[in-house]
Amino acid sequence: MASLIHCPHCGLRPKEEFSIRGDASPVRPAATASDEAWYAYVYVRDNPKGRVIEHWHHTSGCRRWLVVERDNAASHEVYSVRDAVEHQREVAK
């Protein structure tokens, strides 16, 4: 059986309907930030093993961006899925 992801807009869908963009934890620097800050944001990334948060795009469904919290190591269990706009509002607080 295929892995399923619960899209907050479309319900339970197979993971093949989604594409992964990558890590959702970096915070974009201000436009006036130093070159070093932008370099770190664009190129320097941790590659953690275990529970991570990632941007996923529901390409074959609602086409919304989502933030998925999952285990990227052994189980690939999905812990939570939420709309990326809601995630950004929480981060901005």
- Convert the pLDDT of each residue in 52-80 to its tens digit: 999 999 999 999 999 999 998 888 899 99
How many CA atoms lie less than 13 Å away from 81 in the CB half-sphere?
21
Q: Which pLDDT belongs to residue 26?
A: 85
Query: Whole-model pTM?
Result: 0.80
Q: What is the pLDDT of residue 66?
A: 97
Structure token pair of residue 53:
């948060």
pLDDT at 1 over 60: no
Query: Each residue of 4-49: pLDDT tens digit?
Result: 899 999 999 999 999 999 888 888 899 999 999 999 999 998 888 8
CATH number for 10-24+34-92 (one of 3.30.1370.140, 3.30.470.20, 3.30.2270.10, 3.30.43.10): it is 3.30.2270.10
SS3 state of residue 20: strand
Alpha-carbon distance 79 to 26, whole Å?
Answer: 20
